[in-house]
Structure 1
Amino acid sequence: MTTDKLTVNGIEYRPPARPLVVVCIDGGDPAYIEHGLEAGYLPNIARYRREGFHTVAQGTMPSFTCPNNMSIVTGRPASVHGISGNFYLDRATGEPVVMTGPELLEVNSVMSEFSRKGVRVASITAKDKLRRQLQKGMDLSAGSVSFSSQHADRCTMEENGIEDALGFVGQPLPDMYSADLSLFVLDAGLKLLEERRPDMLYLSLTDYIQHAYAPGHPEADRFYAEMDRRFGRFEELGATVALTADHGMNDKADEDGEPCVVWLQDILDNEFGAGSNIVICPITDAFVGHHGSLGGFVRVYCREGLSVERAAEAVADAPGVERVLAREAAARELDLPYGREGDLAVLADI
């Protein structure tokens, strides 16, 4: 393993002196941690708070999995790494372009660059779409591995640096919509640390539990207690443990449990006519069981004949809308890639 410092995306890093485990708790809103600490079932996290470092940080907007994971692993904002949602609208063709693959990631991750210097890296994700992005530029020839629990039954040496991941971990393929999908990631990391001793591990979970259960629900409590127990085991194996999250989690329903939805496309169509604009909800992906393709950040593209100013005025005072930013302001204030922004960015108030 290299002992030299390495500059990645303009930031200097030193190789870890002992195994480094970074866990991204998808949807890890601080409220879950605070509840668990008060209830007393997170002894390891409680110790990290006492003896280590903790803070609440602002995440990348829009606050989705891929943009924030890419910011974590590249050390740079979306304006640099290029991933600002799950898809965007190509202005030249008028067609949506998926951003969840590696093709539009404009810089490599810290792990990928270290792997190319002989550092043994393990990158394990819950969702395979994220695995493919994280793996861009990674060298798997010197013992590094990269796979997802979603597709742990499809691993090959050529693609993932490991075969028969299910047999290696000793568990069946977890259900996509379950806590087990995340716990498999942690268990795979533990098994690798026990048997192969990688230098750097990045373990990114899924937020199914947080989307389904509020802080204090027994299912959420069990999930966080299981994670905490595994964090302690990583330490027992000699690793330095760092926990982070890609975004928080807000309740987006009213007192009766009905979703608080702003039908922005309808508002604009009623005002200016169908076909005058198109609203893109960039959280949309295949995992509708998590968020139903509804999110608090949308992009509006104005077609010929509709000015940005008029569109902004039409939605600015709509119930549920917190901010409306023109393209230049959105790119500047939220550190987003200008070329992939809509004419307007509309942010919800929850």
Structure 2
Amino acid sequence: MSNLDAALATLVDPSLAPIVEMALVRRDGAYEAHAVDGSVRFRRHDPDGGPDGPGPARGWTFTVESVDGRNPLGDQSLDRFAGLDAELAHRFPDRTANAYPFAYEQVAQLFDHPNAPDVCVVHTAAHHWADQGGHIGEHGSLGAVQCRAPFLISGPGARADGVVGGVAAQMVDIAPTVLALLGRDPSVLEGADGRPIEGVLDRAAIDAGEGPEHVVGFLLDGCNPNVLLDAVAAGDAPNIAGLLARGTALRDGIVSSLPTVTLPNHTTVITGRHPGHHGILHNAWWDRSRREQVITNSPETWATAMDALLPGTDSIHLAVQRTEPGAFTASVNEPADHGASFSTFDLMRRGVRMVDFPRTADGLPHSSEMFVRPVKDYALFTQVDHHGTEQAVGIISGSYLGTEYPMPRFLWVNYALTDSAFHEGGPHSEIARASIRDTDGRIGEVLAALERRGVRERTTVFLCADHGMEESDPAVGGDWSPALAAAGLDVRDEAFGFLYIDP
């Protein structure tokens, strides 16, 4: 038995079934998903692929070669657990009840990266990373709740249909959609895996030249779409509710790319590429050729995270500037700032001191005191998001840190508070709801700045997240590493799920 087969046999042993949903591998040109109750082997057909690598995912098709028992990826329903009531009625769903939207595409793209793992372990919906400092709220898997992020759009060139279901959308589709709104041919975004989300675009307005002059995007990191839409309906997010009143939100959410974690999907939003194609493979991974760990998602590495992008990777910023020389774009509090004219992290790389960073969250506007005082991360990201709001408002107003700026054609604002709060208490907690209220207030500040600048009616605003967030079960802890070690396997586990055998 090969070491790969030994690892698979260990991972799908019934003793690990409570924490291992499935194990994914690529071998002999095909892809496999293995679970305790079955496996599937499938193959990708890529008409646009060539000697230099695969073509964009939008051209792929798949055929299943074999199934043994239950196909772990057989249910790819887009609407599973959509709506808060449906999610609450199915806490910790079993593998036989879960769904995995776009699963074949998600698996195939991952293994296109030269440093993809030998085995990608997908943890169960209930799994709580207790031994690794786990949280009540978790994400990272292919499962419906963890992969599904919110998407809402409002303004010129966007439909105004309220909350709609049945729209199949992925994170890779956001960048082409932004370019379509701005009147660009989305094909100018080189190597994009996605295509415009036609279900949210007012094509007649765009074709008539009545699209927006500016696009502003907000990312609410780690925000569960069921919870967000419920908060809007309950009156907890009046500014987002105002956007929805004149826009469209996807009931079934938008599907993030595997792994459904932070920096890979921040980068996917901006580039229109899956992680296996843009190069930010995970928050951490193993570089086989250099025999060293790559970490991108930490305070020490955020500013240089984009150094790991694969050559030739495009972005919204670059595509806008390429098609409109002199166009100004801005990226606020976003490590995935590839090509932006203004970037918070570029200021950091150049040693520009942003002296107005608040020293404490106490007294800041849109700050829930009941969580700011006792929860360290809530306080920290309240400060970070307040600072980001001040940057965005300054840029829209025309001046920040003594430098004058034109109104951005594309402005991107990353908010981190929701991720920390949803992790801390889980998506259905009061701290999670408070983070939505606070972030909604900050979004309101940016919208007010657009109004003062006189561009609000000519600006389309969209809101998304980088991944979903699901409540875990603290009683279902544990790690697969001891079992792999007991089997005599030398395995390097990066970011809890990327396994490199005999590294």
Shift of 1:5: 5.3
Paired positions, count: 260
| SS of residue paired to 2:227 | helix
* Match 1:109 to one of 312, 315, 318: 315
* Residue 264, structure 1, aligned to residue 480, structure 2: yes
Structure 1 partner of 2:218: 23
Structure 2 partner of 1:32: 227
TM-score (norm 1): 0.64
Q: Which region of structure 1 is more displaced relative to structure 2, 9-18 or 177-186?
A: 9-18
* Match 1:120 to one of 328, 334, 343: 328
What is the CA deviation profile of residues 216-257 of structure 1, one whole-angstrom value per residue up to 9, with x for unaligned ones? Answer: 544433332232233344444213211000011122342xxx
Measure the CA separation in 1 of the matches of 2:220 and 2:468: 10
Measure the CA separation in 2 of the matches of 1:32 and 1:183: 22
Shift of 1:62: 0.8
Contact kept in structure 2, 1:112 and 1:135, CA below 8 Å? no
Say if 1:34 and 1:114 are closer, same or farther in 2 by CA, change over 3 A.
closer
* Match 2:384 to one of 158, 181, 185: 181
Contact kept in structure 1, 2:337 and 2:343, CA below 8 Å? yes
Structure 2 partner of 1:225: 437
Give 2:309's aligned amino acid.
L
Structure 2 partner of 1:159: 350
* Match 1:277 to one of 490, 493, 496: 490
Give 1:221's aligned amino acid.
R
What is the CA deviation profile of residues 94-115 of structure 1, one whole-angstrom value per residue up to 9, with x for unaligned ones? Answer: 4323355222212132113434
Q: Quick one: percent identity of the two aligned structures?
A: 22
Contact kept in structure 1, 2:219 and 2:464, CA below 8 Å? yes
Shift of 1:23: 0.7
Structure 2 partner of 1:328: none
Say if 1:124 and 1:174 are closer, same or farther in 2 by CA, change over 3 A.
farther
Say if 1:173 and 1:3 are closer, same or farther in 2 by CA, change over 3 A.
farther
Contact kept in structure 2, 1:277 and 1:300, CA below 8 Å? no
Aligned pairs (5 A) from 1:54-73: 54-55=249-250, 56-73=253-270
Measure the CA separation in 1 of the matches of 2:388 and 2:290: 39
Measure the CA separation in 2 of the matches of 1:164 and 1:94: 35
| SS of residue paired to 1:179 | helix
Give 1:209's aligned amino acid.
A
Say if 1:70 and 1:93 are closer, same or farther in 2 by CA, change over 3 A.
closer
Contact kept in structure 1, 2:268 and 2:278, CA below 8 Å? yes
Structure 1 partner of 2:57: none
Give 2:315's aligned amino acid.
S
Structure 2 partner of 1:241: 461
Give 2:256's aligned amino acid.
G
Give 2:436's aligned amino acid.
Y
Contact kept in structure 2, 1:28 and 1:210, CA below 8 Å? yes
* Match 1:95 to one of 270, 292, 298: 292
Say if 1:114 and 1:72 are closer, same or farther in 2 by CA, change over 3 A.
same
* Match 1:198 to one of 387, 396, 408: 408
What is the CA deviation profile of residues 118-174 of structure 1, one whole-angstrom value per residue up to 9, with x for unaligned ones? Answer: 21111011xxxx52xx33344xxxxx31005xxxxx947x838xx55444xxx5256
What is the CA deviation profile of residues 257-304 of structure 1, one whole-angstrom value per residue up to 9, with x for unaligned ones? Answer: x5x4332110111122xxx2214232xxxxxxxxxxxx5xx0222239
Contact kept in structure 1, 2:427 and 2:470, CA below 8 Å? no
Measure the CA separation in 2 of the matches of 1:10 and 1:22: 22
Shift of 1:81: 0.7
Shift of 1:78: 1.7
Contact kept in structure 2, 1:166 and 1:173, CA below 8 Å? no
Which runs of no fewer than 5 residues in structure 2 stay unpaired?
1-181, 197-205, 298-304, 362-376, 399-404, 451-455
* CA-atom RMSD in angstroms: 3.2
Give 1:37's aligned amino acid.
V
Structure 2 partner of 1:310: none
Which runs of no fewer than 5 residues in structure 1 stay unpaired?
139-143, 149-153, 283-294, 305-350
What is the CA deviation profile of residues 175-207 of structure 1, one whole-angstrom value per residue up to 9, with x for unaligned ones? Answer: 773323123223321221122422211111222
Structure 1 partner of 2:240: 45
Where has structure 1 moved over 6 Å in runs of 4 or more? Answer: 12-16
Measure the CA separation in 2 of the matches of 1:174 and 1:201: 27
Structure 1 partner of 2:338: 136
Give 1:198's aligned amino acid.
P
* Match 1:250 to one of 470, 474, 483: 470
Give 1:57's aligned amino acid.
I
Say if 1:4 and 1:32 are closer, same or farther in 2 by CA, change over 3 A.
closer
* Match 2:283 to one of 44, 69, 86: 86
Structure 1 partner of 2:168: none
